[in-house]
A and B are shown apart, each in its own frame.
Chain A
Amino acid sequence: MERKQRPTVVKSTHEILIDQLKTNLGHLSAVIEEQGKALFVEAGILGAQDVHEYTLEFLELFVMWLQAGSRIGARTPELAALEQFFSGFARQLQIRGARLETFVRYVQSLQRVLIEELEESEQYSFEQSREVLLLLARVFNQLVLDVFQAYLREKEQTIELQQEELRQTSTPITEIWDGVLTLPIIGSLDSSRAMIVMEKLLTRIEKERARVVVMDVTGVLAIDSQVSHYLIQMVRAIGLMGAEAILTGIRPDIARALTSLNIDLGNVTTRGTLSDGLKEAFRRLGIEVRVVARE
């Protein structure tokens, strides 16, 4: 088989890619768009017009990046623009419910299209083709990695926000009577949650001018020495604010565990149930709750 004459001028990697794009821009654009449609339009993630616009934008930014010339390997503004495009694109896909792997498959398909075009052309030497392949692999891997890192960061932020929301909503402090606050604690009580609960509680005591706080721990699954320490701190903080604390809902198994841990709640007023705690709070305020006999 007769081989074509190699060009006498040795072209750099980016020049080869620019040549290729110039020659086959229409074809490349069509193939990339087709790949995009297969991945996104058929799955109902993007419309055909969206894919068309994203394809054009990608090609435009890709050409701009190639035109950076000798600075192509460096972190140029053109590369930053390309990264920004992919980050925005990935975010749009996420918003529309696509999985990250769909995005990765799309980036791989872009890379594959460019490589296949290069393979079809026989005008470049093995070394030149290899250089182009390496450059494309490096850039696209970096782009995927950037997007993946951004995706992870966003996920972490979402989880943190959800945890914060859960913490805020899991400590409903209610003024059940004038000067009486109730605080049902549900779930586990770790350091950060204890901190939030205490801050919110002390602020509410000041705001409501509360005199008694009933803390109900019926919903706390286990109380170890650390949790009991937090509870004692809360009781002390309530006392420092000038209010009185009543601890209710300590289950028998928890009471047994506390004694085995040598934790002394001797200075803390305790009652078996929230109802008993409220009765005690009312008694301290001189409030009497009576059943009014019906006729």
Chain B
Amino acid sequence: MHLTPIGDGALLLEPGVALDPSEPDHYLTTILELLAERGCQRLIYDLRECVVVDEIYYGWLTRLASACRICGVEMVVANVQPAAAYTLARRLSDDPPFRCFLDVDRARCG
């Protein structure tokens, strides 16, 4: 998992393949602490490398978005892959609790 400050009060999170979405508690504190430390208002979660967003992964995303909101940070998602968007759209009954952007640049400005 890579966390990179990218300016404009945004922190870019690139999860990488090693992230285990079934263990959110392993990551939440680290991420929230860094967000607070850097005074970020936005966390951009980059899903470029994530082709499959299953129930567990989606659960992790909603949990992170919820934790960010409590800390006064907006989590947005960028680079959702077509296959992931397709499977998620078929499974979800409501809109996700985070905004989605086509890429990181738009997520930073949006």
Chain A positions within 8 Å of B, measured between CB atoms, are 198-199, 202-203, 205-206, 209-211, 233-234, 236-243, 267
Contacts and interface: CB of A to CB of B under 8 A. Distances in A.
Interface of B: 77-78, 80-86, 88-90, 92, 95-96, 100-103, 106-107
A128 B85 CA distance: 72
A203 to B, nearest CB: 5
A242 B89 contact: no
A241 B102 contact: yes
Given A202-B82, A267-B95, A209 B89 contact: no
Given A241-B102, A243-B102, A198 B80 contact: no
Contact of A202 (B78, B85, B100): B85
B86 A209 contact: no
Lowest 5 A-B CB distances belong to which pairs? A237-B89, A202-B82, A242-B102, A240-B85, A242-B101
Nearest to B102: A242
Nearest to A236: B89
Given A202-B82, A205-B82, A239 B90 contact: no
Contacts of A199: 82, 86
B101 A236 contact: no
Given A242-B106, A267-B95, A198 B101 contact: no
Most chain A CB inside 10 Å of its own CB: which residue of B80, B83, B88, B107: B80
Contact of A239 (B81, B84, B86, B100): B100
Contact of B86 (A198, A210, A243): A198
A90 to B, nearest CB: 42
Given A233-B90, A236-B92, A242-B100, 10 more contacts: A202-B82, A206-B82, A209-B102, A209-B103, A211-B102, A236-B88, A237-B86, A239-B100, A240-B80, A242-B78
A93 to B, nearest CB: 45
Contacts of B102: 205-206, 209-211, 241-243
B95 A236 contact: yes
Nearest to B53: A240
A240 B61 CA distance: 13
Nearest to B87: A237
A166 to B, nearest CB: 22
